[in-house]
Amino acid sequence: MQSWLPIPESASTVSGDVDALYFYLSGITIFFTLLISGVVIYFVIRYRRRNAFEIPRPIEGSTKLESLWSVIPFLIAMTFFIWGVKVYFNLYRPAQNAIEIYVVGKQWMWKFQHATGQREINELHVPVGRKIKLIMTTEDTIHDLFVPAFRTKIDVVPGRYTSEWFEATKPGRYHFFCAEYCGMNHSGMGGYVVVMEPAEFENWLSGNAGQASPAVAGRGLFESLGCASCHGANAEGGRGPALIGLFGSKVVLKDNQSVSADESYIRESILNPQAKIATGFGPIMPSFQGQISEEQLLQVVAYVKSLSTAKPEASTAKPPPAAAKPSPTAKTGASPK
Ligand code: CUA
């Protein structure tokens, strides 16, 4: 219905709200532009100087009029603000019960990994009608993932996790691209979100099985990097804090401050362990800066997360399942509703 307008297709639950606000802003702007230009032209003609000796009547000003043209624009501006805040918070408040997908930007490609292990480059398959939460970072410089049809757009920033969510409303292929200049091939750093019917998506997922889930890969890294020597073979603790149940909890630090153990905290504690040491532990952990890529970091974070969110079997002493048979049921958000 909007095909006559030069705006992208509308294909997510928020795109209608964003468009409505955009049209409202444009409408008000056009209205006042026409009104003010019209009045200017009218006054120029109506009050033009009619003879060379004409002296205008002095004007004292009018408090009533001046208040009116201050208060009315103020109220109109407040509607922009309130409506804008509403749309903004809806967009940036983390989604609940979302399917989580990890994203790493890199010169010049987008890498995605599903919680069930499937990896993709410059293409992202998602089911229609489900909230998708992207947990994002970058290997090098700042990039920005922009999906015009979903009206979602957010930077990926070195050394930090950002996140965005969307819920696609109709199947299709939607262009996405990097919206932050990042060097020579910036313009080619894009691809497509493929939105599928849930059953079709399940099919796609199982057809692309065979890759270890991020949590399982993270467990492998946990062992190969020697984390187990301090955090326990099953992350139950030892010379380092126990990691079971850590994610999402409050960690009390040496100076009695507390931080919430989110993705960023886990990441920081791996790269810069001295930054926030949990109370009762010494500053003995070495930094893993330079030994682990952003993708691997996300996998270790996924492992630590799985120790708090997944069912008990994920955190028992079993060795990591063979990479050929990841179980989609053990991970969060994989089952369609
Ligand atoms: Cu990445 Cu521009």
The pLDDT value recorded for residue 34 is 97
Query: Quick one: pLDDT band at residue 210, thresholds 50, 70, 90?
Result: low
Q: Does the model's pTM come out above 0.75?
A: no
Q: What is the pLDDT of residues 22-59, one digit of tens each?
A: 999 999 999 999 999 999 999 999 988 888 888 888 88
The Cβ-side half-sphere exposure at 331, using a 13 Å CA radius, reads: 22
Q: What is the pLDDT of residues 97-122, one digit of tens each?
A: 889 999 999 998 999 988 888 888 99
Q: How far apart are CA 140 and CA 284, in angstroms?
A: 28
Q: For residue 108, which atom of ligand 1 is closest to its CA?
A: 1
pLDDT score, position 209: 66
Q: How far is the CA of 135 from the centre of ligand 1 (A)?
A: 17
Average pLDDT, whole number, for the chain?
Answer: 84
**Do 232 and 242 form a contact (C-beta atoms < 8 A)?**
yes
Rounded distance between C-alpha atoms, residue 154 and residue 178, angstroms: 10
The verdict on the CB of residue 186 being under 6 Å from ligand 1 is yes
pLDDT above 60 (res 336): no
Q: Is 136 in the pocket of ligand 1 (CB under 6 A)?
A: no
Residue 317 has pLDDT above 70, yes or no: no
Atom of ligand 1 nearest to the CA of 186: 2
**161 Cα–ligand 1 center, Å:** 17
**C-beta of 189 in contact with ligand 1 (< 6 A):** yes
pLDDT over 90 at 327, yes or no: no
181 within ligand 1 shell (Cβ under 6 A): yes
